[in-house]
Amino acid sequence: MSTPDLSIILPVYNEAAGVRTVLQALLRLFDAELAHMTVEILAIDDGSTDDSGAQVQQVADARIRLLQHPYNIGNGAAVKTGIRHARGAYVLLMDADGQHQPADVPRLLAHVDRYDMVVGARTRESETAVHRDLANSFYNTFATYVCGRKIDDLTSGFRVIRADLAKQLVHLLPNTFSYPTTITLAVVRSGYSLKYEPIVARRRIGKSKIKLLRDGSRFLMILFKIATLYSPLKVFAPVSLLTFLVGFGYGLFKVLFLDLPYGPTSAMLMTVSGVIFLMGLVSEQITYLRYDETR
């Protein structure tokens, strides 16, 4: 069996309304503008309760392979299944709900010769929810601080990456929607090159699976993931310093202005600051060892 140039991975969960349209658009693209490339399209049905799998099968084309989970495991798990089964030299990840336009694929592929991973960065013209735009802006700012390099779109699921690198990093990816965060930080942390290409994301086809309350908890978890996956000390050290200064300042205030002894509260805060800093050091070493295995 020949090795295709590109493997496209489409995680599918209850996308019966749009997956067929996306598949047909991709096939037209590789029959015309990208006809010089060989491609396989892996649609991973993550335990859908609608007829998503049947919709995929109705698009009769030898380039499409349907892989099915027996039950819903998670968006990231579907991506990992796709990566493990991919045979192409490059892997393209995109959503099956119509948000990512097949017409943008050539612009991402144009950079694969120079970069290890190319990410479609959503612009302000994208048709996305306001609360998600605000959250993504915060993620990008925080990730830029932690990584020490500009992160244009941390959570974009539209990206192309070298297949060997994707397989090398697959064990780091979670089973959830936060896999784009993890793979971005893993690529940067491991010293591989990253390129952002501006795209306009469209409104999804069908009902959104994003819930505001669940998004809130996911927001906090992604912030925690950013801190722990890349450079924990960049987060632990400032918190440690702030705790120390609060404890020291409070004790000094009591001694100088209230004529009271330094007290246990200040001593406790200063001790806690030392514990936080040591936790940061240990976490930093664990992170280093974790990524050292991928080099």
Q: Which of 7, 18, 19, 46 lies closest to 176 in space, CA to CA?
A: 46
Q: Which of 17, 161, 241 lies closest to 249 in space, CA to CA?
A: 241
Domains in the chain: boundaries: 6-229, 233-292
The CATH class that applies to domain 6-229 reads alpha beta
> Which of the four pLDDT bands, split at 50, 70 and 90, describes residue 93?
very high
Residue 132 has what pLDDT?
80
Going from the C-alpha of 244 to that of each of 124, 234, 258, 277, 280, the distances in angstroms are 41, 16, 20, 10, 15
For residues 252-258, give the mean pLDDT: 90
Q: In what order do the strands lie in the sheet with 64-69?
A: 64-69, 39-46, 6-12, 90-93, 159-162, 117-122, 194-199
Strand-pairing partners, residue 134, are none
Show Cβ contacts of residue 36 under 8 Å, excluding neighbours closer than 6 positions. none
| pLDDT at 295 exceeding the cut of 60 | no
Give residue-wise pLDDT tens across range 165-180.
999 999 989 888 789 9
HSE-up (13 A, CA, CB side) for residue 266: 13
Going from the C-alpha of 220 to that of each of 177, 178, 214, the distances in angstroms are 13, 11, 10
Strand-pairing partners, residue 209, are none
